[in-house]
Amino acid sequence: MSLITALETSDIRFPTSLLLDGSDAMNPDPDYSAAYVRLVTDASDGLEGHGFVFTIGRGNDVQVAAIDALADHVVGRDVDELLGAMGRTWRELVHDSQLRWLGPEKGVMHMAIGAVVDALWDLKAKRAGLPLWRLLAEMSPEQLVELVDFRYLTDDLTEADALRILRRAEPGRRERTERLLAEGYPAYTTTPGWLGYDDAKLARLSREAVTEGFGQIKLKVGADLDDDVRRLGIAREAVGPGIRIAVDANQRWDRDDAIAWIERLAPFGLAWVEEPTSPDDVLAHAAIARAIAPVPVATGEHMGGRVMAKQFLQADALGVLQIDATRVAGVNENLAMLLLAAKHGVPVCPHAGGVGLCERVQHLSYLDYIAVSGEIDGRMIEFVDHLHEHFVTPVEVTDGRYRAPSSPGSGAEMRETSRSEYRYRGTDV
């Protein structure tokens, strides 16, 4: 028997605001950060579980404190007991009745639970000698269903529905795994489109995206309408008519502003409109979706959890679900969201970028493709070529496609030198 002997946290911040990488209409100067957790055991294999919550700077310390508050749930516990029933482990953390008050099931405490749950998944995958996607995609439908908490979902998705979805995808698993390994998984790039970049840089990066094989780029919009019209024109000219252009407003608009603004941008041909308004506003998104159809609404990176995902799908308030690796309570809750999307026939195109989000969220898309929706058409993972060098197994994107990793683990492990170098020391980064 081996025990978890330590839950060690660190506050890691990269000074990304200095270059305006990541600048958008709501986030002018993010410092991409990780509230990082490392689980250590006394097993002779020396394996560790790593996880983190992505934040954009200030408040990363609060997120670290929230992870620390979970130590009693894991330290001193039997590793096999925790890893052997990850559904039960998830429920124990999420249903801690006192901690639950702080959400419930959303926000800082919920994301902290996600970091710890995913550090356990990282450890489990390393112990199995498999990349996380493969560990998950080889679980039986019954094992996968056991990971999901159906509380608050049953008016839309029951355990029986989930089993049906997973069994439907069972026959083609092997073929899709081979296809994934051979051909990769589509990526799109947000690199050209940050608001802080000038027109020349936008045009140059847009052309480079096409050269690099991407079929879709994304532009940040929402700060100034005339600027957006001009920038979209530049981007459209740079990429030509055959490349998809999505726009992302980062929650900048109210409902009616969104509809009016998008009407001006629609002539450039929009792949989707992302985060038009408050991520909590199901009804406004539904109204926007009706108004801008057939252009789909995309949202999810700030979606508090599975209950919100359920409602957005029930209300036809989104056409693209953008799960995020660290916004919800880890792999288990993201699996619930994949199942909800599959039930409604809506494609999942994860949010990524930041620091380490590409490394992590790819595993969930592969799981979706192999064992949940069984689909890849119309699906793609966001890609930003940024900060990957800090990870032990950096993401590999070539010819506009993610290449599925073979290294064991979840992809969350940051190099020790990077963790040390970018450890926040209490002054502005």
Q: Where on the chain is the footprint of a second copy (CB under 8 A)?
A: 26-31, 55-59, 61-63, 65-66, 69, 96-112, 151-155, 251, 254-256, 277-284, 287, 302, 304-305, 307-308, 310-311, 314-315
With respect to a second copy, which residue has the nearer C-beta, 238 or 313?
313
Q: Comparing C-alpha atoms, which of 104, 84, 57 is closest to residue 429?
A: 57
Task: Mark whether 343 is an active-site residue.
Answer: no
With respect to a second copy, which residue has the nearer C-beta, 124 or 252?
252
Q: What SS3 string covers 4-59?
A: EEEEEEEEEECCHHHHCCCCCCCCCCCCCEEEEEEEEECCCCCCEEEEEEEECCCC
Q: How far is the CB of 280 from a second copy (least distance, A)?
A: 5
Q: How far is the CB of 394 from a second copy (least distance, A)?
A: 24
The one catalytic residue in 220, 285, 310, 386 is: 220
Task: Mark whether 351 is an active-site residue.
Answer: yes
Q: Cα separation of 85 and 360, whole Å?
A: 21
Transcribe 190-254 into DSSP letters: EEEE-TTS-HHHHHHHHHHHHHTT-SEEEEE--S-HHHHHHHHHHHHHHH-TTSEEEEE-TT---
Q: Cα separation of 20 and 70, whole Å?
A: 34
Q: How far is the CB of 183 from a second copy (least distance, A)?
A: 34
Q: How far is the CB of 119 from a second copy (least distance, A)?
A: 18
With respect to a second copy, which residue has the nearer C-beta, 53 or 404?
53
Q: How far is the CB of 79 from a second copy (least distance, A)?
A: 23
The torsion defined by the Cα of 229, 232, 238 and 239, in degrees rounded to 10, comes to -150
The one catalytic residue in 351, 363, 386, 390 is: 351
With respect to a second copy, which residue has the nearer C-beta, 108 or 371?
108
With respect to a second copy, which residue has the nearer C-beta, 59 or 240?
59
Which residue numbers are catalytic?
A: 220, 351
